[in-house]
């Protein structure tokens, strides 16, 4: 700004803009919906509905020829809490149900089961699963394998023979999320989704709306400077985002019993940095597109979906191919979700949190530099 104006006048303009924007936020049902209703909806969805914990699997057991061995295996299968078992003499009885997806798997004990069960070349047991649903398919075959190994061992012992091979004793111990409840790591992830929506989508929409309705043109023709304009937009949505985050955290901890083991300071600092990244992105998108429809699509594609895919929220980054893992480093949500999950489940683990915060800080700086460069006080 070349012209030197008294600071008081500039301050007055800035507060004028903030007041105006806040009034619009409070009057706009979509902002209330996104900042108030959406966090609760997401939390309830993840809290009660969506879960990635294993559920009971429906399988059918085909026993081609009854024997004491098959009866024993059937008993151990039925005793397992994992399976809901149906039994029959012929696989053809169940093929249709498997095709229709009513069954998750088909376990066939062939006619020579009793004969071959204890031979070294392996068991005549067949597991048929629906490859169209790979997750369930892996689960069924994995569990059956485990069960089979267990059963075999038990049988050897009960027949007074030593085990074929000393089997490894597994004694799983889960840290940080002892119940392995998926809710506990989905909640931090959904907070990142909410902040992305408020920051990138809502902000992009409101600024694009100003361009579409011609109010931006009227603003630019007043003595308002670009810095005032940007801050005037940022402050209300920043506060809205933090408020929404607080709502989500309180609901998660009090209502769903998700643990929170870190410190409030880190939570607020990381959320603020992430909010700045999202807001900057939203402003950048709206300045470039100047059209609500394009702004909405762009922010879904460049902010919402990456935050969804590349943040360890639902999809595990470590199991992605290298190219995708590299891309994930360019997504601010990755750093934020990592900090959040640490804060909720482990506590202030500085070796995780400090690099994440630095990453977020760098992104915020880059995005704001870009925004300030592209937003000019002209229409071109």
Contact footprint for another protein (CB under 8 A): 1-3, 5, 9, 12-13, 15-17, 19-20, 23-24, 27-28, 213-215, 217-225, 377-380
A 10 A CB-CB count for 55 gives 11
Beta strand 57-63 with 83-88 is parallel
The CB-of-240 to another protein minimum distance in angstroms stands at: 16
The CB-of-303 to another protein minimum distance in angstroms stands at: 25
Distance CA 255, CA 3 (A): 54
Using alpha carbons only, give the angle 256, 260, 262 rounded to the nearest 5 degrees: 165
| Burial bucket for residue 279 (CB in 10 Å: 0-12, 13-18, 19+) | buried
Q: How is residue 105 annotated by DSSP?
A: E
Q: Please say which residue, 3 or 316, places its beta carbon nearer to another protein.
A: 3
Q: Please say which residue, 9 or 301, places its beta carbon nearer to another protein.
A: 9
The CB-of-1 to another protein minimum distance in angstroms stands at: 7
Q: How is residue 304 annotated by DSSP?
A: I
Q: Please say which residue, 15 or 79, places its beta carbon nearer to another protein.
A: 15
Q: How far is CA 97 from CA 57, 80, 129, in A?
A: 14, 22, 12
Q: Please say which residue, 8 or 323, places its beta carbon nearer to another protein.
A: 8
Instruction: Please provide residue 146's backbone torsions phi and psi, each rounded to the nearest 5 degrees.
Output: -60, -45
Task: Record the tokens describing residue 238, joined without a space.
Answer: 């920043």
Q: Please say which residue, 193 or 202, places its beta carbon nearer to another protein.
A: 202
The CB-of-14 to another protein minimum distance in angstroms stands at: 9
Task: Tell me which H or E stretch contains 126.
Answer: strand 125-129
Q: Please say which residue, 18 or 61, places its beta carbon nearer to another protein.
A: 18
DSSP calls for 71-98? HHHHHHHHHSTTEEEEEES-THHHHHHH
On the CB side of 299, CA atoms within 13 Å amount to: 34
CA dihedral 126, 130, 134, 136 (to 10 degrees): -80
Q: Cα–chain-centroid distance for residue 142?
A: 25
Q: Please say which residue, 17 or 307, places its beta carbon nearer to another protein.
A: 17
The CB-of-224 to another protein minimum distance in angstroms stands at: 6
The CB-of-228 to another protein minimum distance in angstroms stands at: 9
The CB-of-8 to another protein minimum distance in angstroms stands at: 9
Q: Please say which residue, 278 or 289, places its beta carbon nearer to another protein.
A: 289
The CB-of-9 to another protein minimum distance in angstroms stands at: 5
Q: How far is CA 102 from CA 41, 64, 132, 138, in A?
A: 30, 22, 13, 17
Distance CA 364, CA 271 (A): 12
């Amino acid at each position: 700004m070349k012209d030197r104006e008294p600071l008081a006048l500039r301050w007055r303009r800035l507060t004028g803009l903030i007041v105006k924007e806040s009034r619009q936020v409070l009057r706009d049902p979509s902002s209330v919906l996104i900042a108030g209703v959406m966090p609760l909806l997401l939390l309830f969805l993840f809290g009660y509905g969506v879960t990635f914990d294993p559920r009971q699997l429906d399988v059918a057991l085909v026993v081609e020829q009854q024997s004491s061995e098959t009866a024993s295996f059937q008993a151990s299968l039925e005793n397992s809490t994992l399976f809901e078992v149906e039994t029959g003499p012929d696989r053809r009885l169940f093929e249709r149900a498997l095709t229709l997806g009513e069954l998750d798997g088909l376990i066939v004990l062939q006619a020579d089961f009793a004969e071959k069960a204890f031979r070294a070349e392996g068991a005549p047991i067949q597991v048929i699963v629906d490859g169209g649903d790979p997750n369930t398919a892996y689960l069924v075959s994995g569990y059956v394998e485990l069960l089979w190994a267990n059963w075999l061992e038990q049988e050897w012992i009960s027949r007074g023979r030593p085990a074929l091979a000393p089997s490894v004793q597994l004694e799983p111990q889960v840290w940080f999320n002892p119940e392995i409840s998926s809710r506990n790591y989905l909640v931090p992830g959904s907070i990142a989704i909410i902040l992305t929506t408020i920051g990138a989508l809502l902000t992009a929409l409101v600024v694009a709306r100003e361009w579409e309705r011609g109010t931006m043109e009227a603003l630019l023709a007043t003595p308002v400077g670009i810095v005032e304009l940007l801050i005037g937009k940022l402050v209300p949505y920043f506060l809205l985002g933090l408020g929404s985050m607080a709502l989500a955290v309180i609901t998660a901890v009090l209502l769903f019993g998700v643990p929170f083991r870190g410190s409030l300071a880190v939570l607020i600092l990381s959320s603020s940095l992430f909010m700045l990244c999202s807001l900057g992105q939203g402003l950048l998108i709206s300045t470039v597109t100047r059209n609500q429809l394009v702004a909405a699509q762009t922010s879904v594609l460049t902010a919402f979906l990456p935050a969804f895919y590349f943040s360890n929220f639902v999809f595990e980054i470590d199991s992605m191919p290298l190219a995708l893992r590299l891309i994930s480093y360019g997504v601010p949500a990755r750093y934020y979700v990592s900090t959040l999950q640490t804060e909720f489940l482990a506590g202030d683990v500085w070796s995780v949190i400090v690099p994440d915060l630095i990453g977020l800080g760098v992104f915020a700086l880059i995005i704001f530099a870009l925004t300030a460069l592209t937003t000019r006080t002209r229409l071109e």
